[in-house]
């Protein structure tokens, strides 16, 4: 199991290493050359001294213009210790591999992104001996992907969108679109992305909504995360008879998701609305209601166009 956002980042970039270079090109508009090959490297930067230093993810990108090391750090909050560790990482890696290191910081916080984007200057004021300028991906520059078709066109970027925007009023639409897009890719790749998103969602309501969405995807039942969810009591009663009642189970999961979206957005759900949604077994109708739930200002608006 992926136990932290750091390890999850390592897994997602191993699965689709080119996601990093696409993000630099499309999000930060950095003209990074198109990689011919990308390989994951050992993240251990420990020296002979008993001091262990590790980056979160380390990739080597071979391009027409040369070889680059992509050093990825997942940063939850400002940490002044990075003023020393980030320059160390880059200097050590250059010395070890003799190719240019590029520091990329990924965060869910706008304040942390602003902090991380500040250059680290070491040396005499006005005459820097060393300057480190991280490239930062965060909620202010990663696009919000809340459209199902857009998510299908670039699933890894949609995953990155969920990671940086997986909180607040936009989260339901982002997670719903990503959940639909995961059905269009192979189950093994989707399973990695499922774990990645689950481990990165800090908001408990967003995490619960994500897990509810995932119960409607067939491969999820074979995934280790499902065992964890069942162990926590979230899947009580859903597994029984799933082969015979898969459609019914998907409808139940979708109905619960609709109710949760409304409640998460602070919209009261009357018993009449709750009963009608829970009684519906038409997956197409439930999908329409789920889309309306993302934008509705009143629970009754789920049915206004009918």
Residue indicated by tokens 């408990």: 204
pLDDT on residue 31: 81
Q: Would you call 123 exposed, middle or buried from its count of C-beta atoms within 10 A (0-12, 13-18, 19+)?
A: exposed
**Residue 79: CB partners within 8 Å, gap ≥ 6?**
none
Q: Are strands 100-106 and 127-132 parallel, antiparallel or unpaired?
A: unpaired
Q: Give me the DSSP letters along 56-104.
A: SEEEEEEETTEEEEEEEEE-SS--TTHHHHHHHHHHHHHHHH-SEEEEE
- Written as tens digits, the pLDDT of the chain (306 aa) is 444 555 555 566 666 667 777 777 878 888 878 877 777 777 676 654 544 567 777 888 888 889 999 888 888 889 999 999 999 999 999 999 999 999 998 888 899 999 999 999 998 777 788 999 999 988 899 999 999 899 999 988 898 898 888 776 788 889 989 988 988 888 777 877 887 787 677 777 788 788 777 765 544 544 555 455 445 544 444 444 444 455 666 777 778 878 878 887 778 888 998 999 988 888 888 888 887 887 788 888 888 765
What distance in Å separates the CA atoms of residue 229 and residue 212, rounded to the nearest whole number? 10
pLDDT at 170: 82
Supply the pLDDT for residue 150: 92
pTM over 0.75: no
What pLDDT was estimated at residue 50?
A: 46
Could you identify the residue written with the tokens 């994951």? Answer: 40
pLDDT value of residue 4: 54
Residue 78 — left, alpha, or beta (φ > 0 → left; ψ -120 to 50 → alpha)?
A: beta
């Amino acid at each position: 199991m992926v136990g932290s956002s750091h390890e999850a980042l390592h897994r997602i970039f191993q699965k689709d290493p080119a996601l990093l270079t696409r993000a630099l090109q499309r999000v930060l508009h950095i003209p990074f050359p198109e990689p011919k090959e990308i390989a994951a490297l050992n993240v251990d930067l420990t020296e002979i001294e008993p001091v262990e230093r590790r980056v979160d993810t380390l990739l080597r990108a071979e391009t027409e213009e040369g070889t680059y090391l992509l050093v990825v750090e997942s940063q939850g909050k400002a940490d002044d210790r990075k003023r020393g560790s980030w320059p160390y990482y880059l200097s050590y890696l250059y010395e070890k591999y003799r190719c240019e290191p590029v520091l990329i910081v990924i965060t869910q916080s706008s304040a942390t992104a602003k902090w991380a984007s500040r250059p680290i200057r070491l040396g005499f004021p006005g005459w820097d001996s060393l300057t480190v300028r991280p490239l930062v991906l965060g909620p202010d520059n990663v696009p919000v992907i809340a459209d199902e078709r857009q998510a299908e066109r670039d699933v890894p970027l949609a995953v990155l969108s969920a990671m940086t925007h997986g909180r607040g009023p936009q989260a339901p639409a982002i997670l719903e679109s990503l959940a639909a897009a995961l059905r269009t890719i192979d189950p093994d790749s989707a399973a990695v992305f499922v774990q990645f998103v689950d481990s990165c969602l800090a908001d408990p309501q967003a995490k619960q909504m994500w897990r509810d969405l995932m119960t409607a995807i067939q491969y999820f039942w074979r995934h280790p995360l499902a065992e964890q969810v069942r162990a926590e009591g979230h899947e009580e009663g859903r597994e029984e008879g799933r082969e015979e009642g898969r459609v019914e189970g998907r409808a139940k999961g979708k109905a619960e998701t609709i109710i949760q979206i409304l409640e998460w957005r602070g919209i009261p759900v009357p018993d009449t609305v709750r009963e009608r949604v829970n009684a519906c077994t038409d997956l197409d109708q439930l999908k329409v209601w789920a889309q309306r739930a993302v934008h509705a200002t009143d629970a009754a608006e789920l049915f206004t166009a009918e």
